Chains A and B, each alone.
Chain A
Amino acid sequence: MKNNVSHLKLKLSIKSLVILAITTVPMFATSADDAKTKEVKPQEPVAAQQADGPSYRNEASFPKIASGKWTGPKLADGQPDISGHWSNTIANHNNFTDPQGGIPNDPAPRRTPLGKREDRAPSRVSDPADGQVPFQPWALEEVKKFQVGFHNPTEPKFIEPLARCAPGGVPKSFYWHGYEIAQYPGYVLFVFNNGTRIIHLDGKPHLPEKIKLWNADSRGHWEGNTLVVDVKNHNGKALFGRSGEFISENGTIQEKYIFSNDGKRYNYEAVFTDPTVYTRPFTVTIPARLWTYEDKPNGWHFEARLAKHAGKEPIVEREERICAENNGGFGLGARK
C-alpha cells in the first residue's frame, strides 16, 4: 500500500520534471498544435528594447538550393560571409519524421485536428523515400520505448536532456531555437541556445577516437556556396528530438550546408552513417532562414536585440543563455 502511494507520487513528480523541459527557456509551443505554429512566451523579456514581432508562421514546404558557385559577399579570409542569426523554418524537435505532427503519443489532446499528412512539412529524413530512419530492430525498440517513457519517465534516459540543460547535439540544435553563426579565419562557430559548436576549417585532424562530445568533432571546408563538414566523436547521449532518434558513438555525419546566393536561406543536407544503430545510411534535410536587424525578436526563432552602443550601425545581439537560471524543479521552498 505504501509502495503504491510512492509509486503514484513518483509518476506525478517525474512528470513535472519533464515539464521542466518545456519551461527551460522561453520556447515554441511544444504540444499538440505544432502545425498551427503558435508562439508562446512564458517569460517576460528583460528590459526589452524592441517590441516582440508577430509569430513566425512555419513553412510546410521549402525550396531546394543547388550546390554551386558562391556569388555573394566574402570575408577577408575568403569564406562566404554567411554570419548572422538563423533558425529552422518548419518546426521544433517534437517529431523527427513528422515535424508538424506533434509529439508521438502525446497524451495532451490536440486543439485542432491533425489533417492530412501531405498538408504538413515532410519528414526530416529525405532519404530513404519513406521518410523513416532505417533503424536496426534493437534501436527501433529503444526509440519506441522512449516515445512511451518520455511522457512519464521511469528511467533517467527518458528525461528530456534539455531539462538538464544538456547541449542539443547534432542535428537537434538546428531546430531548437534560433542560433547565431559567427565566422573567424579557420573556424565557423555555431552559438546555440544550449552549447556551442565549432567547425574547424584549417585541416586539423579529428580528435582522438576516445574523446566523445555532445556536439561531436567537426572538420569542414568550403566548396563554393557549400560548407562541407565531417562529424565524428558523438557521445551517443543526444537525442534528435522528442521522438527519441539517436546516433551512437560510432556514427559519422557528412554534412552539407548549402547557402543560397542571396544569403537569406540555407539547407542542411547530411548523410548519417552508423552501422551500430542503422541498417543503411540516410539523409536528413533541414531548411533554415536568416534573421536580421529589420526583424523583430519573436521569443524562439529570433532571440536577439539591437545592442545599445555609441555608433549608429545596428548591431544585433543574442540574448544570454539562461537555461540554468530559468530551469525549474529545484529547491525545497522555492517559488517555482
Chain B
Amino acid sequence: MNSNLGKRQRAFSTLILGALISASLVSVAADENITPAAQEKKSAAKPVETTPPAQTRRPREKSFPKIPTGKWTGPRLADGQPDVSGFWSNTIGNHGNLTDPQGGVIGEARRTPLGPREQRAPSRVSDPADGQFPFQPWALAKVKEFQIGFHNPTYPGHVEPNARCAPGGVPKSLYWHGYDVLQYPDYVVFVFDNGSRIIHLDENKPHLPEKLKLWNGDSRGHWEGNTLVVDVKNHNGKALFGRSGEFISENGTIQEKYIFANDGTRYNYEGTFTDPTVYTRPFTITIPAIKYTRAEETDGWNLEARWAKHAGKTQILEHDERICHENNGGFGLGSAQK
C-alpha cells in the first residue's frame, strides 16, 4: 500500500515537472538568489538548435524605482499612443512566491540559507503595508492547502496550470517568461509565453457579457499620459498568481496602471485587486518590468528572441515560437522524449 502511494507521489512529481519543462525557464526552485550562471545550468529544457547561446541573465533586482504618472514625452505611434511596443520582462523573480518573490517556493528545501528578508525584493503586494494578501479565512485555507498540495498533488486543482499549458492569467503572465507588447489602433496586445491578452482601447466597446469568463479576463483600457489605465473583469477564477497559490474569483475586478518611464526602458505595473468573494479589502500588486531590445540578451527566460533573417537591413527582433505543447512531458507509453 505504501509502495503504491510512493509510486503515485513520484508520478505526480513528474506531472509537475511538466510545468518545469514546458518551456525553457529560470530556476524555479528554492534558490532564487543563486547566481545567474548556476540558474542556466538548472534550466530543464534543452534549447533548440537555432537558439543563440544563452547569455548571462541580468541579475535580479532587489529594489526598483518608482515611476510617477504624468506626461508622455517619448515617441508616439501614428494613432497617438505612446510607443511602448517591444520585448519586456519582470525584473525581480518568477512566479515561485508572490509575497517573497526571491524567497523560493514555499515548502521547498533550500541549498543555501535564505538570509534576512530585507535583503530580498519586496512582496508583490505593495498595499497593505505588511505585504500580505488580505484573504478571507476560507480562501486563506485554500491557499495553504495548495502550498502543501502543490508538492504532491492529490487533486487536479493542485496541479500547476502551466503543466497543462493553460494561460497564465492576470497577473502571473507578467512574471512568467518575458513577453512581447504589440500596439495597433484601438488595441494593445500582450503576447505571452502561454496565451495572449488584448487590451481594447476603443471606448465604444463595452466589457464582454458577465457570463463569459476567461483565463486572461476581459480588458478595456485607455492612455493617460505615460500610463495605460485598464479595467479588467470576467476572470474565470481558475488562474493562480503563482506557486504560492493566490487567486481572484470570477467576481473580482482589477484596476491596472502600466506606468511607463519616459525613456522607454521601464514600466511599473500597479494593479488594484478588488474581490469581496475572496478578500477582506482591495489590495495593490506592483510589478517592475524592463525592456529588452537586443537578441544578444536572449537568456532563455526573460528574452526568448532572435534577430530575424530577412532581406532588408533593419534589425528585427523576433519572438521564439510558443512550444508548451510540443515541449511538455508526462505523455506516452513508450516515448523516449520527456
Physical interaction between A and B: yes
A residues with CB within 8 A of B: 3-4, 6-7, 9-10, 13-14, 16-17, 20, 46, 138-139, 142-143, 145-146, 154-157, 159, 161, 163-167, 195, 208, 211-214, 235-239, 244, 246, 248-249, 276-277, 324-325, 327-336
Partner of B142, one of A16, A142, A332, A336: A332
CB pair B334 A248 closer than 8 Å: yes
| Cβ-based interface call for B250 (8 A) | yes
CB pair A333 B333 closer than 8 Å: no
| Cβ-based interface call for B330 (8 A) | yes
Q: Mark B315-332, 1 if CB is under 8 A from A, else 0.
A: 000000000011011111
B335 CB, min distance to chain A CBs, angstroms: 4
CB pair A156 B156 closer than 8 Å: no
Bound complex: CA of A214 vs CA of B327, how far in Å?
A: 10
Main secondary structure, interface of B, reads loop
CB pair B247 A9 closer than 8 Å: no
Contacts of B7 in A (CB 8 A): 154-155
Bound complex: CA of A13 vs CA of B5, how far in Å?
A: 14
Contacts of A330 in B (CB 8 A): 156-157, 161, 164, 166, 238-239
Bound complex: CA of A336 vs CA of B7, how far in Å?
A: 29
Known A-B contacts A324-B195, A333-B249; the reply to A156 vs B330 at CB < 8 A is: yes
Partner of A236, one of B163, B165, B336: B336
Q: Mark B123-148, 1 if CB is under 8 A from A, else 0.
A: 00000000000000011001101100
Range, interface on chain B: 35 or more
Chain A CB within 10 A, most for which of B11, B245, B333: B333
CB pair B156 A6 closer than 8 Å: no
* Interface residues in B142-201 (C-beta closer than 8 Å to A): 142-143, 145-146, 153-157, 159, 161, 163-167, 195
| Cβ-based interface call for B267 (8 A) | no
CB pair A214 B325 closer than 8 Å: yes
Contacts of A214 in B (CB 8 A): 325-326
Known A-B contacts A3-B1, A13-B155, A332-B143; the reply to A143 vs B166 at CB < 8 A is: no
| Cβ-based interface call for B265 (8 A) | no
Known A-B contacts A156-B330, A165-B164, A330-B238; the reply to A3 vs B5 at CB < 8 A is: yes
Contacts of A167 in B (CB 8 A): 325
Contacts of A16 in B (CB 8 A): 156
CB pair A332 B247 closer than 8 Å: yes
Known A-B contacts A156-B11, A235-B326, A329-B156; the reply to A7 vs B1 at CB < 8 A is: yes
CB pair A157 B325 closer than 8 Å: no
Chain B CB within 10 A, most for which of A146, A208, A249: A249
CB pair B331 A327 closer than 8 Å: no
Partner of A142, one of B236, B278, B326, B334: B334
A-B contacts, 9 of them at CB < 8 A, read: A139-B334, A143-B333, A146-B333, A156-B329, A156-B330, A164-B164, A165-B166, A329-B159, A334-B237
| Cβ-based interface call for B337 (8 A) | yes
Query: Which residue of A has the minimal Cβ distance to B338?
Result: A237
Bound complex: CA of A277 vs CA of B18, how far in Å?
A: 25
Bound complex: CA of A148 vs CA of B173, how far in Å?
A: 38
A127 CB, min distance to chain B CBs, angstroms: 23
Known A-B contacts A142-B334, A237-B335, A324-B165; the reply to A332 vs B139 at CB < 8 A is: yes
A147 CB, min distance to chain B CBs, angstroms: 11
Known A-B contacts A333-B237, A335-B237; the reply to A212 vs B337 at CB < 8 A is: yes
| Cβ-based interface call for B14 (8 A) | yes
| Cβ-based interface call for B44 (8 A) | no
CB pair A236 B139 closer than 8 Å: no
Bound complex: CA of A164 vs CA of B15, how far in Å?
A: 11
Contacts of B215 in A (CB 8 A): 324-325
CB pair A332 B330 closer than 8 Å: no
Partner of A334, one of B18, B164, B238, B325: B238
